[in-house]
Structure 1
Amino acid sequence: MIYFYIFFLLIFLCYNFDFSNKRGKDSAYWIACLILILLAGFRYRVGGDTLNYMYTHELIPQFDISNIFPRINGVRAEQGWIMLTSLAKLIGPDFYWVQLIQAAIVNIAFFTFFKRYTKYYFSCVLFYYICAYFYFNFEILRESLAVSIFLLFSIKYLAEKKYLKYYLSIIVTMAFHSSAILLVIIPTLYNFVNKKDANFLVICSIIYVCGLFLNPLFNQLIIGLGLFSDKFGTYLDYNFTIFGKIMGYILYVLLPLIVYHYAKKYESPSRYFLVIYALIGASTSLFSIFFRFINYFTPFLILNMALIFVELLLNSKSRTRIENSIIYVLFIVVFFNQRIFVTVDKNNNYKWYSYWFPYHSIFDPQIDPTREYIWRNN
């Protein structure tokens, strides 16, 4: 139930400050940030990848100045994550210290990003909570730290055309997740989409369709050349149904370009990142691991969806505003969370949402048998 309490609290804050502009805006904003930090930081064995990180946490030693970059058998993680974990052990041996530090960095980064680039930042937080919060705070812990550095520093340097600082920040980002290597080409892509007035829907659709046909050949080539590790090999096993391929096109290509179209109307300066989102999203049909790169641009999708949401409602008739907002929010909730109802264990019909529901905290530490079973057997 705590998830729903926070959901309704964020709706209340959104209405109070983005639509009514009442006093106490900044205080309420950072209190909301603190709530989300504590929710993630004090969770107990909640999240599929969280359980993996808890397991490897035991293998990482406490920070030792004489051995800053230790090699640890059984831990497949970048040195940035290992160092963060070892430093957290100086505070305490429990994993929740790592969770608190990670959640603080990620949520402060998102909240700072929203406040920096839009005046409708409460709506951004609401959409962030609906679309990305649980995934970024409960699952992709290392990559979300990389995304946070990208949001806090890299974007600013890119906008200011300080490319040396941009690439230095990307090096730091790669210390937490290797997927950040893609960010090396972002300045080139950004300048391309910023200057070209091309039909990106046609371009991305062609890339997506071609990828569907070339995917089997591409996978065989990767396997034949031995270019993948065990870590990446799992992505070769993904075999999407027709419905999955259609949903992939809608979610990764069509949606960001629709948002881009409306964001262009409101002259959103961050709208060009939506085209980059769609270009990368179109490439997921060729190799499914590319969907991990989309995580770096999800905040821009959230920011521009929130912008459109508020602008449309503010310009609608007051008597239909509540109805329209309910429909819009419900659509976002259902559309972005349909995957949590996907079956992850066919033998017992366990669903994806079992990774996050029910919620347990360190103050009431309970082991959920369903979540533990899925983690051990999938």
Structure 2
Amino acid sequence: MIQMQFIKKNNLGLNYITAFLILFSFAALRGNGNGDYFSYLRYSTYITSLDRIFDPNFPMEIGFRIISYAVNILGLHQQAVIVIMNFISLICVYVFIKRYSPDRMLSILLFLPLYFQFDMHAARTAVAIGITTFSLKYLYEKKLFKFIAIIFLASTFHKTAWILVIMYFIADKKVNKYIGIITILGAGLLSSFFSISNIILNILTILRLNTFAHRYYIYMQSEVYGYSYKLYDPRLLLVIGIYISAQLIIKHPDKLESLLINFIWVNALLMIMFSEHTVFVTRLTCYFNIYTIILVPFIVSKYRSATKHALYGLVKLSAIYIYIAYTAGILIGTVEYKLFFI
């Protein structure tokens, strides 16, 4: 809807800001959710003293605890915790798209599936995703300390942000498109014969990362989230399709484009390798999937420069309709939207 309505070039800046204000208001004022919404409200009431902020046994990370403490000290409504987390998340994504996307309004549309999955239900993860987008600059410049500092900050809202550290070793690698496709197929074959989850659990145990190992094991055993992720799932096929399209259309990628393509390649690999348990696919690969909202506009832009305008329009419309269908699929069966003050 936003993509189709705001099309006048002379209003792009205003439209872009307006779109994010709409997204922020919709998320911040919600009074329902099928994720952690009610848990956030309940747990936030417990953080009323400094010792609670630094309690390592509290089930939510210190970033959440600090926000909750500030809200309680100021005597604000508990919804303020939700509002603040949504603000941090969306302002980060706003800057991310503005800084890197060649088509900001298209990027907003591509962001909607992540928005409805995380900002609307799992706001801590949404904040972590948003903060990690600032690491792209330091990954691009190979500044390890600043890159790790951003990941650390993101991890204060969700520890899963540390998964992005692997990109530091892959970021500047030139992966041939045939090698990329072969490794994706190989990962699918490997996951059919070996339990990657058990291997990871054993590694975490050997490294004495007991907190991570315990949490990992709990998710593995979860009846609600621990079921397998099908390798023919449309979301995985979409990511693979984006990767192949990028390799075919962006024939001579610059450093940034190459980095974005590597993100999507790793995204596909992780989706396959963690497919034994859906929770790991959704919670870990989201830190890589966020880069599709920048890469797809680059693909469309490159295609536009290489072909006729009519065909460019068809490609862009195809991306729009695919993501509208993707978003609609997420919204089907979700809880009723309610305003928190009603």
Q: TM-score range by the shorter chain?
A: 0.7 to 0.9
Question: Quick check: 1:297 aligned with 2:288?
Answer: yes
Change (3 A) 1:316 1:295: same
Question: Quick check: 1:240 aligned with 2:228?
Answer: yes
Q: Which moved more, 1:226-235 or 1:324-333?
A: 226-235
Can you give the 5+ residue segments of structure 1 that lack an aligned partner in the other structure? Answer: 1-7, 17-21, 342-352, 366-378
Which string of whole-angstrom CA distances, capped at 9 and with x for unpartnered residues, describes residues 133-155 of structure 1? 11121122112211122112x11
Aligned match of 1:370: none
SS of 1:229's partner is helix
SS of 1:195's partner is coil
Q: Which amino acid aligns with 2:160?
A: S
Can you give the 5+ residue segments of structure 2 that lack an aligned partner in the other structure? Answer: none
The separation in 1 between residues aligned to 2:269 and 2:130, in whole angstroms, is: 22
Aligned pairs (5 A) from 1:104-183: 104-129=87-112, 131-152=113-134, 154-183=135-164
Change (3 A) 1:202 1:136: same
The separation in 2 between residues aligned to 1:217 and 1:294, in whole angstroms, is: 15
The separation in 2 between residues aligned to 1:177 and 1:221, in whole angstroms, is: 19
Contact kept in structure 1, 2:109 and 2:323, CA below 8 Å: no
The separation in 2 between residues aligned to 1:99 and 1:329, in whole angstroms, is: 29
Aligned equivalent of 1:97, options 75, 80, 90:
80
The separation in 2 between residues aligned to 1:212 and 1:265, in whole angstroms, is: 32
Q: Which amino acid aligns with 1:135?
A: Q
The separation in 2 between residues aligned to 1:91 and 1:259, in whole angstroms, is: 51
The TM-score with structure 1 as length reference comes to 0.75
Change (3 A) 1:38 1:84: same
Aligned match of 1:69: 53
Q: Which moved more, 1:266-275 or 1:289-298?
A: 266-275
Which string of whole-angstrom CA distances, capped at 9 and with x for unpartnered residues, describes residues 227-248 of structure 1? 843664233453438xx33217
Q: Tell me the number of residue pairs that the alignment of Structure 1 and Structure 2 aligns.
A: 326
The separation in 2 between residues aligned to 1:285 and 1:221, in whole angstroms, is: 15
RMSD across aligned C-alpha pairs, in angstroms?
3.3
Shift of 1:252: 7.2
SS of 2:233's partner is helix
Q: Which moved more, 1:244-253 or 1:158-167?
A: 244-253
Aligned pairs (5 A) from 1:214-363: 214-215=194-195, 218=198, 228-229=213-214, 232-236=217-221, 237=223, 238-240=226-228, 244-247=230-233, 250-251=236-237, 254-262=240-248, 264-265=250-251, 267=253, 268-269=257-258, 270-286=260-276, 288-291=278-281, 292-309=283-300, 312=303, 315-318=307-310, 326-335=317-326, 337-338=328-329, 340-341=331-332, 353-355=333-335, 358-363=336-341
Aligned equivalent of 2:174, options 195, 205, 229:
195
The separation in 2 between residues aligned to 1:157 and 1:216, in whole angstroms, is: 30
Aligned match of 1:9: 2
SS of 1:71's partner is coil
Question: Quick check: 1:53 aligned with 2:31?
Answer: no
SS of 2:26's partner is helix
Change (3 A) 1:216 1:83: closer
Q: Which amino acid aligns with 2:140?
A: A
Q: Which amino acid aligns with 1:171?
A: F
Q: Which amino acid aligns with 1:27?
A: L
The separation in 2 between residues aligned to 1:80 and 1:217, in whole angstroms, is: 28
Paired-residue identity, %: 20
